[in-house]
Amino acid sequence: MRALITGGAGFIGSHLADALIGRGWSVVAVDNFITGKRANVEHLAGDERFTLIECDLESAPRIACDAVFHLASPASPVGYGRHPLETLRVNSQGTWAALEIARENQAPFLLASTSEVYGDPLQHPQDESYFGNVDPVGPRACYDEGKRFAEALTMSYVTTHGVDARIVRIFNCYGPRNDLDDGRMVPTFAGQALRGEPITVHGDGSQTRSLCYIDDLVEGLLAAMFSEGTSARVYNLGQPREHSVLEFAQMIVRLAGSSSQTVHLAPRPADIERRKPDARRAEAELGWRAQRTLEYGLERTIAWYREQLAATPEQLRVGHPAGAGEAFARLS
């Protein structure tokens, strides 16, 4: 069995590749490396079950596969802030291309969407029936509206072409391979704590988040794809336990053994005040819920960042040893 993962060298995509290979699948990963990193998949370079194709999704060759996981897209405020047009393109034309691959292969399809489709929610927690409160021209619009379009396109392929597709809305996720410089809360706070720098909290820190560890999320993706009766369904995947940003900062400082102090900066434009998934549908229909504790996940994530910061400046700059990328260019 062979799975296609778009965005397969990204934070989530690389962990999904590991899990599928562990289940006996072969994996073809497509990534253009706008935000993905070769370092995330270099441990798979010698594995005959893994193939990496470096290209834009719309120009990918025809790929024979038995399942399509569509994860390709910048996903952090830094990523889509730097690449707004590319974000809109991959969530429109890229999603179209990925759905065509699924249709041609009669393969099940999973769209990795986001809690950002709910915008700055007026309903708390957010369940799958909530339509959202999204600013279509705001600073997050390229990502929010790109994913909303991708969801509409996916469901249109279900109704028009009979594609076996499902949508997962991913809430805040963290773990090893989450880029230190991508602007999200955990890598930002962890990097600052490990460097002994001030922990920069935007606003008063009372805004809340619910963090899901990467291992839990990957198990949710697999359950959504391979459980019976999930076609045309939408699932929130996230950890319902809610904490304030200030609480997260204090916990990360403690677990990092850091003496960093918290400083408060001006609030970010269009920042989300509260975000928490209602994940009861996933638990009822998929038998899935996030189980790793926050301390478990943060300890492993901080340990990984500590290793990254101990690497040489050259390794941190290029993301992989010189020449290693050639091993990924093969097609099987």
Nearest residue to 171 via CA among 271, 238, 75, 72: 238
- Tokens matching residue 237: 């995947």
- Distance from C-alpha of 64 to C-alpha of 61, rounded to nearest angstrom: 10
Length of the chain measured in residues: 332
Do 50 and 44 form a contact (C-beta atoms < 8 A)? yes
Does residue 143 carry a catalytic annotation?
yes
Separation of alpha carbons 18 and 81, rounded Å:
29
The SS3 of residue 58 is helix
Is residue 229 within 8 Å of residue 164, measured between CB atoms? no
Which residues, listed in sequence order, are joined to residue 27 by a DSSP beta bridge?
Answer: 3, 50
Please pick, among 80, 118, 130, 143, the residue that the annotation labels catalytic. 143
Considering only the C-alpha atoms of the chain, give the largest distance between any 2 of them, rounded to a whole number of Å. Answer: 58
Q: How far apart are CA 228 and CA 2, in angstroms?
A: 19
Block residue for tokens 């890598």: 187
Query: Which letter does DSSP use for residue 329 in this model?
Result: -
Rounded alpha-carbon distances, angstroms, from residue 79 to 102, 124, 142, 268, 322: 27, 27, 11, 16, 24
C-alpha dist (Å) from residue 177 to 10, 39, 147: 8, 9, 23
Q: CB–CB of 267/202 below 8 Å?
A: yes
Judge contact between 177 and 40, C-beta under 8 A.
yes
Residue positions annotated with a catalytic role: 143
